[in-house]
């Protein structure tokens, strides 16, 4: 096998201002040569994502080398498969591109994606704000075995093109859930986002996210989930700006702006770099 092109990689904790909190994402920045090298294949990206063993590894691919205009292709892989959309790794990618000087921090970062079109990130004070497609959810019957796999009764079940949204009785239920992940893999759901209204005045809602079919039992903080949770809670609370806390062990804060019926939402949060490196050649 030939020598690998020189490629930088970093780990960024997203939706947090503290290291070792939020959701860690690996961001692999492919240089102009690497982006076109025969060795940069889907299999290679999948193997690297498995090596990182984080919920997602993002691959940022310059669309016009040296342009500095913010044009990057972006793809996301879990340890086992490519995914349609990953919010926290998009936020992490924008953060590391600005921090490293690959992009001008005063300009938005534009990402072209395979399934979700163009995504744009810009700075909003301490936050990075992502312009993402909204994922409104429609009520559906409870899938067979879902409540048993989760280990709790459910209030409402809805579905969008990314996951099922399951509302439960209260915040305590969300926090204390201990799903049977083996059973959950057999339920007809791609992923499950559990949510309830928050007991803490600092947040409007809490959530957790389980995706064992994607090789992720529990995702620490899920930006893409908030493209559905934002509209869900904005409608219930009667205002477009809502704040969620994803109550995983690591935890993270996600702010969402969701206008009624709008095709796009803004998902915002902070990010912090944990380490940077270079892949061996």
Q: What is the pLDDT of residues 217-235, one digit of tens each?
A: 999 999 999 999 999 999 9
Q: Catalogue the E-assigned strands of the chain.
A: 7-14, 23-30, 56-62, 71-77, 109-113, 117-124, 127-133, 138-139, 156-159, 164-167, 192-197, 205-211, 216-219, 241-246, 252-257, 264-269, 271-278
Scanning 131-266, the segments in alpha helix (DSSP H) are 146-150, 171-176, 181-185, 226-237
pTM score: 0.93
Catalytic residue from among 18, 51, 56, 218: 56
Structural domain boundaries of the chain?
7-123+269-278, 138-262
> DSSP 3-state assignment of 209?
strand
Query: Would you tell me how many other CB atoms lie within 10 Å of the CB of residue 53?
Result: 11
Confidence check: pLDDT of 66 > 80: no
Give pLDDT tens digits for 186-218.
999 999 999 999 999 999 999 999 999 999 999
Per the CB < 8 A criterion, the answer to whether 57 and 92 are in contact is no
Confidence check: pLDDT of 35 > 60: no
pLDDT for 62 equals 87
What is the band of 44 on the pLDDT scale with cuts at 50, 70, 90? very high
Confidence check: pLDDT of 67 > 50: no
Tell me which residue has tokens 């007809």.
Answer: 188
Per the CB < 8 A criterion, the answer to whether 146 and 192 are in contact is yes
Residue 104: closest CA among 64, 71, 61: 71
pLDDT for 6 equals 60
Cα atoms found within 13 Å of the Cα of residue 264, Cβ hemisphere only: 10
Question: Quick check: do 7-123+269-278 and 138-262 share a fold?
Answer: yes
Give pLDDT tens digits for 149-190.
999 999 999 999 999 999 999 999 999 999 999 999 999 999
- Taking the C-alpha atoms of residue 258 and residue 121, their distance in angstroms, rounded to an integer, is 16
What residues pair up with 133 in beta bridges, in sequence order? 264
Average pLDDT, the chain: 93
Class of domain 138-262: alpha beta
What is the band of 31 on the pLDDT scale with cuts at 50, 70, 90? confident
| Two structure tokens written together for 79 | 């340890």
Confidence check: pLDDT of 247 > 60: yes
What is the band of 7 on the pLDDT scale with cuts at 50, 70, 90? confident
The DSSP call for residue 82 is: B
Known catalytic residue at 56: yes
Number of helical H runs and strand E runs in the chain: 7, 17
Query: Which CATH superfamily groups domain 7-123+269-278?
Result: Diaminopimelate Epimerase; Chain A, domain 1 (3.10.310.10)
């Amino acid at each position: 096998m030939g020598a690998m092109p020189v490629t930088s990689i970093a780990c960024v904790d997203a939706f947090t201002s503290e290291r070792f909190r939020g959701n860690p994402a690996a961001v692999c920045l492919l240089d102009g040569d690497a982006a076109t090298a025969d060795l940069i294949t889907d299999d290679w990206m999948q193997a690297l994502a498995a090596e990182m063993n984080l919920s997602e590894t993002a691959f940022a691919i310059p669309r016009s080398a040296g342009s500095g205009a913010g044009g990057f292709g972006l793809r996301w892989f879990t340890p086992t498969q490519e995914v349609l959309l990953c919010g926290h790794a998009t936020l992490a990618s924008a953060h590391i591109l600005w921090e490293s000087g690959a992009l001008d921090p005063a300009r938005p970062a534009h990402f072209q994606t395979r399934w979700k079109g163009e995504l744009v990130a810009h700075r909003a004070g301490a936050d990075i704000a992502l312009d993402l497609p909204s994922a409104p959810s429609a009520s559906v019957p409870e899938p067979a075995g879902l409540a048993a796999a989760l280990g709790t009764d459910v209030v409402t079940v809805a579905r969008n093109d990314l996951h099922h949204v399951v509302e439960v009785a209260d915040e305590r239920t969300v926090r204390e859930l201990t799903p049977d992940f083996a059973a959950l893999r057999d339920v007809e759901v791609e992923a499950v986002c559990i949510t309830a209204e928050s007991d803490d005045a600092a947040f409007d809602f809490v959530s957790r996210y389980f995706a064992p079919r994607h090789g992720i039992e529990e995702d620490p903080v899920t930006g893409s989930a908030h493209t559905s949770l934002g509209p869900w809670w904005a409608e219930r609370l009667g205002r477009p700006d809502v704040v969620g806390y994803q109550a995983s062990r690591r935890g993270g804060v996600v702010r969402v702006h969701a206008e009624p019926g709008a095709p796009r939402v803004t998902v915002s949060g902070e990010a912090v770099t944990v380490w940077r490196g270079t892949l061996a050649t």
